[in-house]
Structure 1
Amino acid sequence: MKTVELLNSTPERLDIALAKSLGISRAKAQRAIKDGRVFVDGEVATAHHLVDTSKAVTIEPLSVEAQAKTGQLPVVDIIYEDDDVLVVNKPSGVLVHPTEASNEYTLIDAIIAQRPQIADVGDNKARSGIVHRLDKEASGVLIVAKNNNAFNHLKQAFAERLTSKHYTVLVTGKVPDEVGTINFPIARSSSRARMAARPLSQEGKEAITHYEVTKRFANATLVDVRIETGRTHQIRAHFFALGSPVAGDTLYVQRGLKQFPIGRLFLHARELTIPLPSGETKTFVAPPPQDLENFLTTLHEV
């Protein structure tokens, strides 16, 4: 069973709340409710049931139906491995795990092809061993659990914010301060595909993003980003709300700002520090890939 984190403190229909929280269509939420897979305070729920953040909502995991895969298995670039964890450098353009909207091969497909035992790790077969995620368009360090003890340990480390995550990010325009913190709450927007960072609203989940300017260019700023929370699209939504969307982002686009011809999102998970099941705390590093480094050489530094 999966616990659903509701976003609104005011009552609304369960199917609407479920669609917002899980980022699925309302029809798909209604189907899950109709199938008896959704529970409110331990009882099977109906679509018109009113819920808010005081209610405990759980759902049986939505299955990703078996289907023919397209494309090729991604390359698995291993940074580190022991008996408990596998740390990889995820390439841009690759999904971390399967989704209902895509039948392409994912990073976890490729990992399981090399480490079959990971298929049985975790509480969701579609996300075997996955304890955190990177957007499809992003690249960088990703840690995967190789057994259930490691899975529980790593999930707890992320939940208790015992990790440190640094990203190399190029944003459009000029970030006002050399060092800053963005702490706008984040909720799913009405478009469902995007998240909305709302500076003046208390609705949504707490999200904290720290940044430090590394280099300034004529129409862009290179920043080192550290996030305390790990909300969906957090960095992208926060800098979009700040008026400086991430370069190469085709989802969070601000009218009137120059679009850079990168061909990918300029967001790279460069460094992850985390306590391992062995008791040792390690830092894993993946330098920005060459395509991002090459693009920086085309910009005029100021």
Structure 2
Amino acid sequence: MQIPILYEDDEVLAVNKPAGLVVHADGRTTEPTLAGLLLEKYPSIHGVGETIPLTKGGVIEKWGIVHRIDRETSGVLLVAKTQESFLNLKSQFQARTIKKSYRTFAQGFLKEEHGIIDKPIGRSTSDFRKWSAEYGARGELREAVTEYQVLGKGEVGAMKISYLEVSPYTGRTHQIRVHLKAIGHPIVCDSLYAPKSPCALGFERTALHAFSIEFKGLDGACHHVEAPFPEDFGVALAELGIPC
């Protein structure tokens, strides 16, 4: 599998991850990963970054990986080529100075065209795989803030759908999916957070795309990288009559 490169210099790669590809191994499965595919093409990134210790011994190697997006999410992801670059990008993520923008299709019409969802996230009580920003979430509740802007809307049969630009200020697991569900507008075709809702617009995966990212290189220069829409997003936008 060829991974599209959106930007590259001596320090960093920005890649366009296809939907369905996991970013790195989880210690249980042996399926192909983005980290593994990139290591084949860029063997010099071996040893860059950090490993994840496993409770039963051993580690997960994720060389070069600074952050991750969900398996079903497509779009831009940064990969460090040197340890110095890894630490630089990691510090920007920790300081929340890296700007990320996503595009998604959510169920229903939102009351406000623009808004900020400020709801802490904890563990779901109904499913160990899920997180929750609703009453009754268990465990440590961690700060989570997401901004959204409605870019368009339409109807497919009896289903109302909003097309959104979404920017997470924090980086919690499943944050965008959890926050949109918490305000009553789960993402189209999200089988984990809206399992009883039918898929629409031709999607066969969670309708979420990491559209752009802004970061600074080691020299302080700002970089803005965008990931072109995959085919399913283009089809969905056309069906709703919304320009790409």
Q: Match of 1:207, as an amino acid?
A: A
Q: Deviations over 1:35-82 (max 9, x none)?
A: xxxxxxxxxxxxxxxxxxxxxxxxxxxxxxxxxxxxxxx321001111
Normalized per residue, the structure richer in strand is 2
Structure with max Cα Rg: 1
Which of 106-115 and 196-205 deviates more? 196-205
The alignment status of 1:195 with 2:140, answered yes or no, reads no
Percent of residue pairs identical: 37
Going from structure 1 to structure 2, the CA distance change for 1:276 and 1:199 (only over 3 Å counts) comes to farther
**What is the total number of aligned residue pairs between the two structures?**
227
User: Which residue identity does 1:271 align to in structure 2?
Assistant: S
2:190 is the counterpart of 1:249: yes
**How far apart are residue 107 of structure 1 and its match?**
0.6
Q: TM-score, normalised by structure 2?
A: 0.88
Give the one of 142, 152, 161 matched to 2:96: 161
User: In the alignment, what sits opposite 1:46?
Assistant: none
Secondary structure (helix, strand or coil) at the match of 1:216 reads: strand
Which letter does structure 2 place at the counterpart of 1:259?
C
- Does 1:259 find its partner at 2:204? no
Partner of residue 77 from structure 2, selected from 142, 146, 159: 142
For the 8 Å contact 1:243–1:254, the answer to whether it is kept is no
What's the CA shift for 1:299? Answer: 3.4
Q: Which one of the candidate residues 87, 99, 110 is aligned to 1:152?
A: 87
Rounded Cα–Cα distance in structure 2 between residues aligned with 1:108 and 1:258: 32
C-alpha contact 1:172 1:258 (8 A) present in aligned 2: no
1:87 alignment partner AA: A
Write the distance in 1 (CA, Å) between the matches of 2:67 and 2:171. Answer: 8
Map residues 1-302 of structure 1 onto 2, 5 A cutoff. 74-124=1-51, 126-190=61-125, 191-198=127-134, 203-218=140-155, 219-253=160-194, 255=196, 257-260=197-200, 261-299=202-240
Query: SS where residue 120 of structure 1 aligns?
Result: coil
Partner of 1:67: none
- Structure 1 stretches (4+) deviating beyond 4 angstroms? 199-203
1:154–1:300 distance in 2 versus 1, CA, 3 Å: closer
TM-score (norm 1): 0.71
CA contact (8 A) 1:245 1:254 kept: no
List gaps (5 residues or longer) in structure 1: 1-73
Indicate the RMSD between aligned Cα atoms, in angstroms. 1.8
Aligned 8 A contact 1:93 1:137 in 2: yes
* Contact 2:124–2:137, Cα closer than 8 Å, also in 1: no
For residues 163 and 249 of structure 1, what CA distance do their matches in structure 2 show? 26
User: Are the aligned partners of 2:50 and 2:61 in contact in 1 as well (CA < 8 Å)?
Assistant: no
After TM superposition, the structure 1 stretch with the greater mean CA deviation from structure 2, 158-167 or 124-133, is 124-133
